[in-house]
């Protein structure tokens, strides 16, 4: 394994904002009178905001115009950002922070590859803004995972070929995207049952065993 760069998904890997997404989508769904639960929420993991909304609207009683969809998505994002504003550096565990520091000390280039347009704001809230060598997020991509675009852009930003990059992901769509990009796929959390993963780790610090 000739890995020189490690690309991390943000939510579910570095931080955990799933509960905020759920509460925000639930608030919007309730207002629209559309059924929404944890099971539906699980389908939204790693998926862009507009694609997530389209999944939720599958249960709607009527069709929504593109303008209406954008208004709903914007409302959801404002509710979500209200929750994000409560985040602090303590929302990143000591294990994650120490592992990132050690990987950097070992000479790896570190990047974020996230579909979220709030990536930079979240990193700012948890005091990791200046830590990563590059950030590829929802503001610079057209396609969300499982399309590999977000990871390919991250590799481009750190000037490495895809084959020299590993991706750390907690979602099946993210593992699929990593494999499509010809990158080493590292599964953590919910993705550990994904058979396509090249490496499976039980905890974040498990990265240190594979990346010397």
Residue with tokens 């830590």: 131
Q: In whole angstroms, what is the distance from residue 17 CA to residue 103 CA? A: 24
DSSP type of residue 205: G
Q: In whole angstroms, what is the distance from residue 21 CA to residue 79 CA? A: 9
**Residues whose CB is less than 8 angstroms from the CB of residue 27 and which lie 6 or more positions away in sequence, other chains included:** 76, 79
Q: In whole angstroms, what is the distance from residue 144 CA to residue 78 CA? A: 21
Catalytic (active site) residue 11 = yes
DSSP type of residue 15: B
DSSP type of residue 16: -
Q: What is the dihedral of CA 58, 174, 17, 139, to 10 degrees?
A: -80
Q: Are the CB atoms for 80 and 118 separated by under 8 Å? A: yes
Among the listed residues 9, 137, 147, 170, the single catalytic one is 9
Catalytic (active site) residue 9 = yes
Give the catalytic positions in this structure: 9, 11
């Amino acid at each position: 394994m000739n890995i020189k760069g490690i690309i991390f998904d943000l939510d579910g890997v570095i931080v955990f904002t799933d509960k905020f997404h759920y509460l925000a989508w639930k608030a919007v769904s309730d207002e629209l009178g559309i059924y929404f639960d944890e099971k539906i929420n699980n389908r939204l993991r790693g998926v862009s905001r507009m694609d997530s909304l389209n999944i939720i609207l599958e249960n709607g009683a009527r069709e929504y115009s593109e303008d209406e969809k954008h208004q709903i998505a914007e409302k959801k994002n404002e509710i979500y950002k209200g929750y994000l504003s409560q985040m602090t550096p303590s929302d990143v565990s000591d294990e994650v922070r120490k592992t990132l520091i050690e990987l950097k000390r070992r000479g790896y280039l570190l990047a974020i590859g996230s579909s979220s347009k709030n990536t930079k704001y979240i990193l700012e809230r948890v005091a990791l803004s200046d830590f990563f060598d590059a950030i590829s997020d929802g503001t610079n991509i057209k396609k969300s995972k499982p399309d590999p675009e977000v990871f390919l852009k991250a590799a481009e930003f750190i000037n490495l070929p895809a084959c020299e990059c590993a991706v750390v992901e907690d979602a099946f769509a993210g593992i699929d995207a990593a494999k499509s990009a010809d990158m080493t796929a590292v599964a953590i959390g919910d993705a550990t049952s994904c058979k396509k993963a090249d490496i499976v780790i039980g905890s974040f610090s498990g990265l240190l065993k594979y990346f010397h």
